[in-house]
Structure 1
Amino acid sequence: MNLTVRNIAESCSEQEVREFLKHELGHYAKNVEVVGAGTPGAYATVELDADVPYVGDVIARQIHGRHLGGQPLEASADLFSDEPPAAQ
């Protein structure tokens, strides 16, 4: 499951964004990828270490509106992925 974080300030470096998200998400942040740091369209994708869809939504709500570089972040969870469902 992935979390997408948008509205990242142009003044924020890739390292700042990565450190902020890892700090805020703790053990849920499996992998953080920052795209376009220093540009108006910068965003980050976080691979979450969670198997239950509602966890991603709760995490997105907690990050949404937090300020980084003086701008409120926008966050949303991708409830669906290209991976096949796990066998039960």
Structure 2
Amino acid sequence: MNLTVRNIAESCSEQEVREFLERELGRYAKHVEVVDAGKPGAYATVELDASVPYVGDVIARQIHGKHLGGQPLEASADLFSGEPPEAR
């Protein structure tokens, strides 16, 4: 199960994003990949260490709206694909 985190501030480095998500998600963060850090449209995908589908939704709700680099994050759980869902 993957978690996609969007609306990452351009001022955030890949390391800052990774450390923030690993700290916020704790043991649930199996692998964090940050794409296009420092650019508009940057996002991160997190492979979650959770086997129950609803856990991803709960985690997404906890991350959604938290601020990183002065911007509120957008997060969603993606059960079936490694591709990030399209931005709304």
Q: Paired residue for 2:80?
A: 80
Question: AA paired with 1:19?
Answer: E
TM-score (norm 1): 0.91
Deviations 1:34-55 (A, max 9, x none): 0000001100000000000000
Q: What runs of 5+ residues in structure 2 fail to find an aligned partner?
A: 83-88
Q: Paired residue for 1:24?
A: 24
Distance across 1 between alignment mates of 2:43 and 2:80: 19
Distance across 1 between alignment mates of 2:69 and 2:30: 23
The verdict on how the C-alpha distance between 1:81 and 1:41 changes in structure 2, with shifts beyond 3 A counting, is closer
Q: Paired residue for 2:64?
A: 64
Q: Paired residue for 2:5?
A: 5
Cα root mean square deviation, aligned = 1.0
Question: AA paired with 1:38?
Answer: G
Please state how far the C-alpha of 1:31 moved relative to its aligned partner.
0.1
The verdict on how the C-alpha distance between 1:51 and 1:67 changes in structure 2, with shifts beyond 3 A counting, is same
What percentage of aligned pairs have identical amino acids?
89
Please state how far the C-alpha of 1:81 moved relative to its aligned partner.
4.0
Q: Paired residue for 1:50?
A: 50
Question: AA paired with 2:30?
Answer: K
Q: Paired residue for 1:86?
A: none
Deviations 1:11-61 (A, max 9, x none): 000000000000000000000000000001100000000000000000000
TM-score (norm 2): 0.91
Q: What runs of 5+ residues in structure 1 fail to find an aligned partner?
A: 83-88
